[in-house]
Amino acid sequence: MDLGIKGKRALVTGGSRGIGASVAKTLAAEGARVAVVSRDAESVETLIGELGGERSGHYGQPLDLMEDGACPAFIDDLEKNFGQVDIVVQNLGGPMGVNDPLCGIEDWRQVLHFNLEITIELNGLLIPHMKAQKWGRIVHVSSIAGVENTGPVPYCTAKAALCAYTRSFGRVLAPDGIVMSAVVPGVVLTEGGYWDEKSRENPEDVESYLASRTPLGRFGMPDEIANITAFLCSQQASFMQAAIVPVDGGQAKGYFV
């Protein structure tokens, strides 16, 4: 299937490794020009090189978007050096080591800022161009933690809010030809990620978790998330406004009805 995005400019946040890197590679394979932003400069450079480098129209920016003023400065740099974005995949997120549900409010704010507020701020800067051209795709990478009890409470709350934001704002953007949606991955094995570490530390516990919580009894892989994400970025997703799409091997129970 031709996704119809050849020549489109796509931005992937948190895109240097794992799901983000797989999404970037999939979009590039479909002919999109891809920009990636991530804190890990070495990983960004490696990924952009794998995509064919700047000579092939791709662009990488090592940057911590948590810093004050980082989002508008980044978008200004991006438009000067890459161009205005037609597609954005918001893959930034994580629990940030905040596991205590009774943590202080500053910890809550950090988790919410990382998983939700940066996405909202970047969208606010990117949407005007999409509205002007009457076409755009915005895909949020949420988490199974946002729809069922798995993971730290602040992280679950932030990802649930991201889904609610997608459902609400996606309807607002629909008349402008912009499709905002979200993918909800289940447990995904990424190199150096949480489940990779847990599998080495406590393989029996991980096997027990997979057997009890996932119908397939296995992890998802980054490319299984990336393929669905790329479809949501495509011309073919024109009737998927505000969609929340589980890619979880059937893990979530009773939420997606």
pLDDT tens track of the chain, all 257 residues?
A: 899 999 999 999 999 899 999 999 999 999 999 999 999 999 999 999 999 999 999 999 999 999 999 999 999 999 999 999 999 999 999 999 999 999 999 999 999 999 999 999 999 999 999 999 999 999 999 999 998 888 899 999 999 999 999 999 999 999 999 999 999 999 998 888 888 888 888 888 889 989 888 899 999 999 999 999 999 999 999 999 999 999 999 887 655 54
Residue 175, C-beta contacts closer than 8 angstroms, at least 6 positions apart? none
Q: Whole-angstrom Cα distance, residue 34 to residue 54?
A: 10
Q: Where are the alpha helices (DSSP H) in the chain?
A: 18-29, 41-51, 70-81, 105-112, 118-133, 153-173, 194-201, 203-213, 222-232
Give the three-state DSSP class for 48: helix
Cα→Cα distances 5→11, 31, 223, Å = 13, 7, 18
Q: Whole-angstrom Cα distance, residue 126 to residue 158?
A: 21
Cα→Cα distances 230→45, 51, 88, 215, Å = 22, 16, 11, 25
